[in-house]
Amino acid sequence: MSRILFLFVFVSFHSWSQPIIKKDSIFPEYKKVMLYSAVLPGSGQIYNSIHRENGPKHAYWKVPIIYAALGTAGYFLTVNNQTQKSLKTEYQYRMVNGSNLDPKWAIYDDAAVLSLYQSYLNKRDMSILGCAAVYFIQIAEAGVEAHFLHFDVSDKLSIQANPTFFGPTSAGIHLKFQFH
């Protein structure tokens, strides 16, 4: 029993004897970059490009792509939302008055208008998911790139791939890594 107690006390003291590492910042850099991207899409990519210590500053080109993707998804969201509202108004008017309201939907019967309404409602929902996906992917991308801000990539690291034949009927790839 005393050995188990001694082992428990020894393990407890050992776990408390680990050194405490002080960080320069309370908020890690990748979280700060992700917060920037969450507040203003693309600002995390710009921050990463400005604060990169080594290598090319190449994150600026991502900002127009982010805004183009958000704009495209927003455009489809707006168009699909307006169309489904127009179809809903048309269907409700047909149910109350028995005639069509908008000449654009005159060629469709009631069932077709209802089917089109459901289709554009689904397209609107997918556009919302598209906007959210672009927004969250750009946040995640900024955070991942922030992890690599201080990553050293030099000419001393290399990889070489060559084809290899193991026999008359089998082939493969020979990878050669060099660390100098």
pLDDT in tens, 53-109: 665 667 788 899 999 999 999 999 999 999 999 999 999 888 888 777 788 888 988
Distance CA 134, CA 136 (A): 6
131 part of a folded domain: yes
In sequence order, the β-bridge partners of residue 163 are 173
Q: How far is CA 49 from CA 4, 59, 63, in A?
A: 55, 5, 11
Inside any domain, residue 39: yes
- The reply to whether 159 falls in a domain is no
Lowest-pLDDT choice from 7-16, 62-71, 161-170: 7-16
Q: How many domains does the chain have?
A: 1
pLDDT at residue number 130: 95
Mean pLDDT of the chain: 80
92: domain range?
25-150
Closest CA to 126 of 61, 177, 76, 60: 76
- The SS3 call for residue 174 is strand
Q: Tell me, what's the pLDDT at 174?
A: 83
- Spatial CA neighbour of 109 closest among 95, 96, 120: 95
**Number of residues that make up the chain:** 180
Judge whether 18 lies within some domain.
Answer: no
pLDDT given for residue 5 in this prediction? 45
User: Does 168 reside within a domain?
Assistant: no
**16 assigned to some structural domain:** no
Burial 126-162 (b: 16+ CB within 10 A, else e): ebbebbeebbeebbebbbebbeebeeeeeeeeeeeee
Is the CB of residue 75 less than 8 Å from the CB of residue 62?
Answer: no
> Would you say residue 17 lies in a domain?
no
